[in-house]
Structure 1
Amino acid sequence: MSQQMQFPPGPPAPMGAPAPQTARNGLGVAALVLGVIGVLSGLIPLLFWLAGTLGLLALIFGLVGRSRVKRGQATNKGVALAGLLLGIAAMVAAVIGAVITFTAVKGAVDEINKSLETSTAQPKTGTKGEDAAATEGGASGSEGEALHAGDTAEYDSGLSVTVSKATSYSPDDFAVGHKGSNKAYKITVQLENKGKEKFDSTLTLVEARAGEDGKNAEQIFDGSVGKGFTGKILPGKSASVEFAFDAPASAKNLDVEVAPGLELDAAQWELKL
């Protein structure tokens, strides 16, 4: 009877051998990508905020990536270093872009404010007209002081506004805005463009108040008056329009206010009836 042969087991595998590690190069690559995008964003001043954010992230990722290389956990030392340097460059570009952007915005705001201060200023010294010689002080056009019949209010833009004296007016049978117990008065408003640019007269607003109580005098519309200003006035040209207002029979004065558009302050005339 045959016997089965038995062999001793082989020696065990050696213990303590280090397991292979995978290089952790992700942060270095991320630093490079973010740095490139950050620098490109920094070339556009308005994107300074994006360049700064990406540059900061690239700087952080690049530093961490280099630390991993030093510990033997990563192998892309050059990539991490390039990402770090690009991050710094992106942050510098962000600072420059911010300075350029804020300077440009400040300059634009200053120009707008300067333009508004010029266009909305009160009329300059007015020109004495028909009733100025009989009125103490004449016409000045200064803030808080009314002009008189025939006086001219002048603006820095080169526009001048003149209002004639008020004369009695007889509305036609189809007039709107006139009460039979009241009196109607007509005035002529002239706009003269002494500036260098066209003036749009379409938005010129003319209003009036009558009597000591200062109640609004309703504007009269008929076939002859009430059409208002239309179109643009060329430099060196003028335009005149007649307006009529309804006033109580006892009214002794008609206060007229002319606002030549939205950008210029209104001027006031005190007309005797």
Structure 2
Amino acid sequence: MTTESPNYFAPASRHAAEPPPEPPPAEPEAPKNAYGIAGLAAGGVGLLVSWIPMVGLLCTPLGLTGLALSSLGLVRFKRGEATNRTVSIAGIAVSAVGIVVALVMLAILGISSVVGGKLSYPADADEKHHIEFVVTVTTPAHVSYGAHDELLEDTIPPGTWRQTASYDTGGFPLNVTVDAPTNAADRLLCTILVDGKVVSSLTSAASATKNNVACTAPAN
């Protein structure tokens, strides 16, 4: 009986010749920037409430917080510790806009509170009653004037100073006060006129304090 010798020169099988399959590509890492996201959220909330009168005042700390967090996120991106630069830039922009809007609304509210108070400055021709505050001094002086709980202030030079105002509904006191450096020779005169009639007038000669004089009258 004959035995066949193995053929050591036979070609390798097809499966043995093929290289092993390559592993699937790794999924890209999701962008991360926790500080930038937090800054954008804080700035966004601040921008939303910045348009609401009075409540918009809350936007200032929210906007500053958003600005700080977004800036920190941008710094971390430059260091290679974060991978989402866009969210930090958006947070900075939104926070800055919210702060500006809040400040503008605050300024508008401040102006309207003066115009919308008991008195309108200067006098509004459409309102029923007109007031004139008149002060005469021989030295520079400080003047406070207006409704008793809504006084405005001014610094005036020697001479005669006038300010007009108006109102529709009375029921509150009017006041003008003059303060000057202590000097017995200085003459201070204050006068309040309502609808062209003098309702209060006082000079420093009739006042117990020579460097101070005040006139008061009701706004009927």
Answer with 1 or 2: which has the greater Rg.
Answer: 1
Q: Same fold (TM over 0.5)?
A: no
TM score, norm. by length of structure 1? 0.34
TM-score normalized by the length of structure 2: 0.41
